[in-house]
Amino acid sequence: MQPGHVFISHATKDDPFVKELRIALESLRLPVWADSRNLRGGSKLAPEIDQAIAAARQVLVVLSPNTVNSPWVRKEISKALEIEKQRQAEGYRVIPLLLPGIEHPALPLWFDEEPMGIKVQLTSGGISEALPQILAALGEALPDDLQPDQNIDARPVEELVLKLVDPKIATHEGKRRVTAIATLVYEPANKTARNVESKRYALNAPLGPIEADDLRWYLESYYLWPTGVFQQRAAAIEKRLPQWGQDLYNAALRDTAAAEALAAWKNSVLDRGLSLSKAARFSIYIDSDPAPNADAASHKAALEAASSLLGLPWELLHDGKGYLFRGKNAVAVRRRLPNREARAVRPTQLPIRILLLSPRPEDKTTGYIDHRASAKPLVEAVASLGELVQLTVLTPPTLSALRNELNRAAKANQPYDVVHFDGHGVYDREHGLGALCFEDPHDLDKLDHRAMMPVHADELANDLREHRIPLIFLEACQSAKVEDDPTASVAAKLLECGVTSVVAMSHSVLVETARRFVEAFYRQLAAGSRVGEAMLAGQEALAADTWRGKIMGAGELHLHDWFVPVLFQEEQDPQLINRLPGEAVQHLQQKQAQLRLGALPATPAHAFHGRSRQLLALERLLHTHNYAVVRGTGGAGKTTLAVELARWLVASKRFGRAAFVSLENLHDVRSVLDSVGRQLLPAYSVAEYKNLNEALQPVSRALQDHPTIIVLDNLESILPPSTSSGQAPANGTAPVTAVPHAEFFALCANLLASDNDTRLVFTTREALPAPFDHKLCERMLGALDRHDAVALVSSVMKAEGLEPKTSDPGSTPQEIEDLVEAVNCHARALVKLAPDVARLGVRATTADLHKLMAKMEREHPGDRENSLYASVALSLRRLPEDMREQIKPLGVFYGGAHLAVMAMVLEVDGEKVQAIAQGLIGVGLAEMKNYGHLRLDPALAPYLLGQMHETEIAQARQRWAEGMQQLLSYLYEEAFKNTEMAFQLTLLELPNLLPLLDWALAHVTPEEVVGLTSKMETLLQFLGRSQALTRVVAVREQAAKQLGGWSHARSMSDCVFR
């Protein structure tokens, strides 16, 4: 990049265009000089502008009809041409940009020698399209052939329409079946050609309630336990799917009356093959109105029959050779209903506006699903379109917010083209209507566990009426389900109220199924295809790979569920994207997208796993507050979570830019500001300014240009020890860096004051001081949940090309769970131990954790990113010296410690053990769980153990064993009084209880061992820990054999579970 700025000469009336141009250039780190940004009140206009032109690397001249009457632009061009003669050898150029209304023949009005001008359109994406030429003119790229945006023409459609009227329910040979009067119509793609319409004939639905129940079980229940007899039943259903498709095909299309229309369509589509310029479609059009003057019973029966016809799996259509939706001549299937009202035409134009809402209520009626499961693939699919798509995430995702946003957009003449609902759907039998699950507006003050508010189809349709939205995507279970009225589903109601296309789900849908479908659907839509063609792409992606995940204890799940997503549509199938950016533009957009992320660390090779609830809570928090604090133990994943949050909020267009600063290696507040400024501004350096206040001004202005999220990492590095432990600073406990924390937090306050849309995210092991000490803004980050921990280990190994050792691969789910629980599901520990799983095996890694942690420290001494001990040592430095010495006996614990046992081992009273616990929590080495259990950093105990002498270890372990025996007796007694507490605390203490067995075998009598194990068996029998229970039983039986004749213990041993 050449030194100096780019000067933009323009008429004042072109300020809006120049602002967009400046932002585009600065997004590529090119410094820009424009008078509105660089002249202060009292400036001498001509001298300062002359100086800026002389100091520029090049000059861009914006020529428009507004320029004709601008003497300033003429003077600036004259001055720039004068400089160009002097510095031509340096590459100094004056480059005209021609806006609409100015053509190349007009250039002599401003230039004696006509230069090469660059035309820029004022349409959406116009600046982006011209940017490659502008960069080449500025010397930032070599000149290349012009690559204009690619216009995409929608393919005409060869359509076959099955019209069904007069639906009825009949019983024949004991089978309940639906019938209707059918007409088959072939509508050629060439609209000048005649339609071919069959005579009317009877259609008898070949599938009834039995087949529907089989499909419902297969799609909605089989996944719970895909093994044994259930797997056999599922395989039988899968085998029948092609036959059901043939039965539907024969019933709908094989009647002799339909032969001519079918043949005409097949000749144009199937037999001769589609050309690339044509598409094929099959529409089911159902009119549920009964005959005139029909009574109420007939009317009800007709509605029920029509609902059954609408619910048939038409996507299964199979002509005996294959499913119609597959192959070169793939046929899109859709459902249509009569239009009873006149509706205004709603043309679409670029940019396409997408409204994404992902309600995530979580209460007794609604389970939680990852809030980005399909939102993320949607965002990624449309990213290549740049300015041609405008994405808005609805926050908060309530019905009133949806209503208000749609009305706001309509009034601004910026209506939405796509509304994507990603959440729960239900079919309410009591009301006979489908419903979507929104978040309850009364719970918006909560960051977690918001209540669900069901919104029925008719209510939702009333709010969407007249908006004429081209596409609504309902990624919600049963959003196409009907029973008694074909218009009662959410999809049908939306179609009835004027929505052009509705993608919905006929049954409950797996998260993995929805994710894959969404990814393929939007990728195809973004390529310029119609909605129907995007449906085909999604269905083909599901059919091509039936893997849907692993079910713990049951193995892999495969499912044929590609026919669950269905399309309801008006006659017209819209093409939303009709123009695609050229290759050069897309390359620049990728570069801009990367630069918008500032210095955010790259996503790990094993990707980001889990933490959806924490991520969502932080998103909700930042919607209403201007900062968030992510606090947790070392290695818990604070930085990873904060970085993923920033990356996601920028990708989903809620923030324009991100910046990242680690406080670990910075020395003063000016260094912090310099790091932020260099990420937000081209050619910024804090050294160029006299003081911090002046240096802050350009950064503040940059924050006003774009909503910005700034991640400030490792704040414990600058905090004084008293913040966390409540103790006076001790020798050796100074902050790690020299950044004065008071000045630093003052800078943070100034950054937030720059613009209301600026957000800060802090990561720390310790609590922050005022003004960033609001408890609502602090989110404690605990361990990963077990499922995410297992997935993390698997992903790390896959990313590094590793496989578990073949002789010890973790052949049972319990062995894998034991591994992740041995390190308390600690994120960094799991990442670092993955190579050892490949080298040693699952069980061996679990057994040798202490040795492996010590090995990491030897290989990476003092490196807290690669040594778990180094991270612990850094936090221990924050504690007072006497406390560091006092906690050494914690080295005999496993995973965590109950405070009562901890007090015995440390030989302190209750008040002191509480203070020690708070100190450990304060420096990020522990986390308080329920019932007095303190979860420890997984590396803390082995690290402390290495600091103790053998005599100290033996004495501490004796106290630990006595304390654990007392705790076990307490839990056994409470199992008959307070079952919930006893069982939950048993699970928390299991890492300590199982080693107690080994200690007991070596130190107490067989009779005492039987007593201990009998209590453990009672506690474990209902907790689902089969391997732990097996181990306890084995120890009991081993001890019982040593008892010889009759004894009370032998009697207890014989009676347990007999």
Confidence of residue 482 (pLDDT cuts 50, 70, 90): low
- Read off the pLDDT of residues 768-825 as tens digits, 9 standing for 90 and up: 999 999 999 999 988 888 778 777 777 777 777 767 666 666 556 667 777 777 777 7
Q: What CATH number labels 606-722+736-781?
A: 3.40.50.300
Task: For residue 845, give Cα distances in angstroms to 407, 894, 1005.
Answer: 59, 15, 31
Q: Per residue in 459-475, pLDDT tens? A: 999 999 889 999 999 98
Confidence of residue 853 (pLDDT cuts 50, 70, 90): low
Res 78 pLDDT > 80: yes
Nearest Cα residue to 967 out of 1009, 1017, 933 = 933
List the Cα angle 513/514/518 in 5-degree steps.
120
Q: Which residues, other chains included, contact 239 with Cβ-Cβ below 8 Å and sequence gap of 6+?
A: none
| Distance in angstroms (rounded) separating the CA atoms of residues 682 and 672 | 17
Give 926's DSSP letter.
E
Q: Provide CB contacts within 8 A for 690, sequence distance 6+.
A: none
Q: Which two tokens stand for residue 929?
A: 């769980």
Domains 6-148 and 352-540+556-579 belong to one CATH topology? yes
Cα–Cα distance, 631 to 629 (Å, whole number): 6
Confidence of residue 934 (pLDDT cuts 50, 70, 90): very high
Of the chain, the end-to-end C-alpha distance in Å amounts to: 82
- Measured between alpha carbons, how far is 235 from 386 in angstroms, rounded to an integer? 45
pLDDT tens digits, residue range 726-754? 444 444 444 555 567 889 999 999 999 99
Q: Name the residue type at position 287.
A: D
Q: What is the largest CA-CA distance in the chain?
A: 118
Structure tokens at 440: 């309850």
Q: How open is the CA angle 1017-1019-1021, to the nearest 5 degrees?
A: 60
Please, what is the Cα angle at 801 between 800 and 802, to 5 degrees? 95
CB atoms within 10 A of CB 406: 19
Angstrom distance (rounded) from CA 73 to CA 12: 10
Domain 6-148: homologous superfamily in CATH: Toll/interleukin-1 receptor homology (TIR) domain (3.40.50.10140)
Residue 33: which H helix or E strand, with range?
strand 32-33
| Residue 416 in this model has a pLDDT that exceeds 80 | yes
- Lookup: tokens for 962: 């006595």
Instruction: With beta carbons less than 8 A apart as the criterion, state whether 919 and 875 touch.
Output: no
Q: What is the DSSP letter of 369?
A: -
Structural contact between residues 417 and 353, judged by C-beta atoms closer than 8 angstroms: yes
Question: Lowest-confidence range among 635-649, 689-703, 834-848?
Answer: 834-848
| Residues 886/888/891/892 CA torsion (nearest 10 deg) | -60
Q: Once rounded to an integer, what is the mean pLDDT over residues 418-427?
A: 90
CA proximity to 161, closest of 304, 314, 270, 301? 314
Classified as helix, coil or strand, 670 is: helix
CATH 3.40.50 fits 352-540+556-579, yes or no: yes
Give the Cβ contact number of residue 713 at 10 Å: 20
The model's pTM is 0.84
Beta bridge partners of 61: 9, 96
Q: How far is residue 801's CA from residue 929's CA, in Å, rounded to a whole number?
A: 36
Q: Residues near 407 by Cβ (< 8 Å), separated by ≥ 6?
A: none
- Indicate the Cα dihedral angle 1037, 1041, 1045, 1049, nearest 10°: -30
- Please state the rounded mean pLDDT for residues 15-24: 93
CB 353 within 8 A of CB 413: no
- Are 568 and 495 in contact by the 8 Å Cβ rule? The answer is yes
Among candidate residues 938, 692, 966, 717, the one with its CA nearest the CA of residue 831? 938
Sequence-separated contacts (24+) of 741-749 with Cβ below 8 Å: 741/769, 743/669, 744/663, 744/669, 744/672, 744/718, 745/769, 745/771, 745/772, 747/669, 747/672, 747/673, 747/692, 747/696, 748/627, 748/712, 748/772
| Cα 221 to Cα 39: distance, rounded to the nearest angstrom | 68
**∠ CA 793-795-797 to the nearest 5 degrees?**
70
Percentage of the chain exceeding pLDDT 70:
90
616 token code pair: 């969502």
Q: Which residue has the tokens 């790690």?
A: 736
Using alpha carbons, select from 641, 890, 648 the residue that is nearest to residue 784: 641
Mean pLDDT of the 349-354 span: 90
All residues at 6 or more sequence positions from 764 whose CB lies less than 8 Å from its CB, including other chains:
629, 630, 631, 638, 714, 715, 716, 719, 924
Give the mean model confidence (pLDDT) for residues 559-563: 95
Separation between Cα atoms, residue 117 and residue 106, nearest integer Å: 10
Give the pLDDT confidence of 115-148 residue by residue, as tens digits: 889 999 998 888 999 999 999 999 888 777 667 7
Q: Confidence band (pLDDT; 50, 70, 90) for 554?
A: low
Domain borders along the chain are 6-148, 159-336, 352-540+556-579, 606-722+736-781
Instruction: Report residue 582 CA to chain centroid gap.
Output: 28
Contact 538, 524 (CB under 8 A): yes
Rounded to the nearest 5 percent, the helix, strand and coil shares of the chain are 50, 15, 35
778, β-bridge pairs: 629
* pLDDT tens digits, 151-189: 888 889 999 999 999 998 887 777 778 999 999 999 998
What's the Rg (C-alpha) of the chain? Answer: 35
Where residue 37 falls among pLDDT bands split at 50, 70, 90? low
Q: Which residues of 640-659 are buried (b: 16+ CB within 10 A; e: fewer)?
A: bbbbbbbbbbbbbbbbbbbb
What is residue 577's three-state secondary structure? Answer: coil
238 burial class (0-12, 13-18, 19+ CB within 10 angstroms)? middle
Residue 43, pLDDT score? 45
Cα 543 → chain centroid: 24
The pLDDT tens digits for 286-330 are 998 877 777 778 788 888 888 889 889 999 999 999 999 988 889
Label residue 44 by pLDDT band (50, 70, 90). very low
